[in-house]
Homo-oligomer: A and B are copies of this chain.
Amino acid sequence: MTRKDVLVRRDLLGTNKEIAAGIRKELRRRGILAVNLLSSPGSGKTALLEALADRLKGRCRMAVVEGDIETERDAERIRARGVAAWQITTGGACHLEAKMVAKVLADVPAAIDFLFIENVGNLVCPAGFDLGEGLRCVLLSSPEGDDKPAKYPQAFATADVLLLTKSDLIPLLPFDPDRAAREALAINPRLKVFCVSALRGEGMDGLAAFFVEALAAERAARA
């Protein structure tokens, strides 16, 4: 990168940080827990949200912001579960930025508990952009391999939660969930780790309970 690139990037990140701080303050005021989901394409972010929607139904109110380069597909899948969803199509950009989320926030109803933000499928670039979330979750699906945390460290270093997804495929694959967790924890010891299968349900009740507890803790801290 040239000096000019570095300066532009610093400007961009500085502005993003300010907007993210504003979002965080607004969400706290409304008592909403925002969760930013980061992963490679196809790690199962949308399937996870579908499975969570079924488990939180009747207990908590959720809404979803979907980030994609193109198409409304993911928002349509979420709406089909009876959950409000807004699609942000970045038209080429490789990550969501706080200003994109801020625009949607005006439309989000006040009476919700969770705002899940599904980032663009990319294990690299989204890690550098705070969206004002209360929790950041990084997903690593078993078919991607257990060697990914050290190769893509920033996403794991900046997350609060590691979700090892597609656990139903583990018996068929050269994937050791303990190795993946160990490697991620070496980068970030405060990661809370869950092993889940959105398709088969394994681990999903525990994860839903964790989010409900995190919401209660967030609200207690605010009071």
Given known contacts A40-B40, A144-B41, A169-B172, is B4 in contact with A151 (CB within 8 Å)? no
User: Do residues B92 and A94 form an inter-chain contact, with CB atoms below 8 A?
Assistant: no
Q: Are A125 and B12 in contact (CB under 8 A)?
A: no
Quick check: which of A53-61, A65-73, A102-110, A210-218 contacts chain B, the rest being far away?
A: A65-73
In this complex, how many residues of chain A approach chain B with their Cβ under 8 Å: the count is: 40
Q: Chain B residues near A68 (CB, 8 Å)?
A: 151
Q: Give CA–CA (A166, B1) in the complex, Å.
A: 36
Whole-angstrom distance from the CB of A109 to the nearest CB of chain B? 27
Complex Cα–Cα for A36 and B73 (A): 29
* Residues 105-157 of A contacting B (Cβ, < 8 Å): 120-125, 141, 143-145, 147-148, 150-154
Q: Let me know if A178 is at the binding interface, CB within 8 A.
A: no
Question: Assuming the A-B contacts A69-B153, A143-B169, are A41 and B8 also in contact, with contact meaning beta carbons closer than 8 angstroms in the complex?
Answer: no
A14 interface contact, C-beta 8 A:
no
CA distance A184 to B92 in the complex (A): 17
Q: How far is the CA of A141 from the CA of B153 in the complex (A)?
A: 22
Distance in angstroms between the alpha carbons of A141 and B144 in the assembled complex: 9
User: Given A141-B143, A145-B42, are A121 and B151 neighbors across the interface (CB < 8 Å)?
Assistant: yes
* A152 neighbours in B (Cβ, 8 Å): 41, 69-70, 121
Chain B min CB distance to A93 (Å): 8
List 19 A–B pairs whose Cβ atoms lie within 8 Å, in order of A's numbering.
A1-B93, A2-B8, A4-B11, A5-B8, A40-B40, A40-B123, A41-B123, A41-B144, A41-B148, A42-B144, A42-B148, A70-B151, A70-B152, A70-B153, A73-B147, A73-B150, A122-B124, A141-B143, A174-B199
Sample of 16 more A-B contacts, CB < 8 Å, known A4-B8, A73-B151, A125-B125: A4-B11, A8-B8, A40-B123, A40-B144, A41-B152, A70-B153, A73-B147, A94-B122, A121-B123, A121-B124, A122-B123, A122-B124, A124-B125, A141-B143, A169-B172, A174-B199
